[in-house]
Copies of this chain bind each other. A is one copy, B any other.
Amino acid sequence: MSEQILTEHISSYVNFSKEELSEIARFFNIQSYRKKEKLLHAEKRCDTIFFVAKGCLQLYFIDDLGNPKTTQFAMETWWLTDFLAFQNQRPSNFYVETLEKSTVLSISFSKYQELLEKFPKMEKYYRAILETAYGAALMRIKYIHSLSKEEMFFSFRNSFPEFVQRVPQYVLASFLGLTPEYLSEIKKK
Interface residues of A (CB under 8 A from B): 59, 61, 63-64, 69, 71-72, 82-87, 93-94, 116, 120-121, 123-124, 126-128, 130-142, 144-146, 174, 177
Contact = CB atoms under 8 A, between A and B. Distances in A.
B116 A124 contact: yes
A71 B130 contact: no
Is chain A's binding surface mostly helix, strand, loop or mixed? helix
A177 B147 CA distance: 11
A136 B84 CA distance: 6
Q: Most B CB atoms within 10 A — which of A94, A116, A130?
A: A130
B69 A145 contact: yes
Given A83-B138, A130-B130, A137-B138, 16 more contacts: A59-B138, A63-B145, A63-B146, A69-B142, A71-B138, A71-B141, A71-B142, A71-B145, A83-B135, A84-B132, A84-B135, A87-B132, A120-B120, A123-B127, A144-B177, A145-B177
A162 B135 CA distance: 26
A59 to B, nearest CB: 7
B146 A69 contact: yes
A172 to B, nearest CB: 13
A79 to B, nearest CB: 10
A141 B138 contact: no
